[in-house]
Amino acid sequence: MFPWLLVSWAVNAVVLGVTGWLLPGVTFHGSAWTVIIAAAVFGILNTVLKPILKLITFPLALVTLGIAWFFVSLFTLWLTVVLVPKFDIHGFWNYVAATAIIWALDRIVDAIVAPARRVAT
């Protein structure tokens, strides 16, 4: 369990770093430590808060065909920005693009890592 937590943290750091590299409105102010701390905070929020928010917004997700959950992801990203100094996302559309990029990269990495995780357990 613990090694996969470290893998998840590293993947979050890479995904956030790539997102910052792709979008000029996403900045870490040149600090690798900011990326690492943001990855840890983002991972904790996704593990603890996101499932609770998804449960609460389930009726809305049914009505909107799941679009509400995109905004749950966007909210966890916004909360990460609020909690981590030197991690900034400027503008609503940068939040939307960053959320979409993070989602897409997470799906790609999960497709690669998930078979290894099943073998290891």
Q: List pLDDT tens digits, range 44-66.
A: 898 899 999 999 999 999 999 98
Looking at the chain, the whole-number percentage of residues with pLDDT higher than 90 is 66
* 7 within a domain of the structure (yes/no): no
* 32 within a domain of the structure (yes/no): yes
* Interval 89-103 mean pLDDT: 96
Tell me the residue range of the domain where 74 lies: 21-120
pLDDT band per the 50, 70, 90 thresholds, residue 81: very high
pLDDT the model gives residue 9 = 82
- The Cα–Cα gap between 87 and 121 comes to 35
Q: How many structural domains does the chain have?
A: 1
* 108 within a domain of the structure (yes/no): yes
Rounded to the nearest 10 degrees, how much is the dihedral formed by the CA atoms of 60, 94, 35, 14? Answer: 80
* 14 within a domain of the structure (yes/no): no
* 25 within a domain of the structure (yes/no): yes
* 10 within a domain of the structure (yes/no): no
The reply to whether the predicted model has a pTM over 0.75 is yes
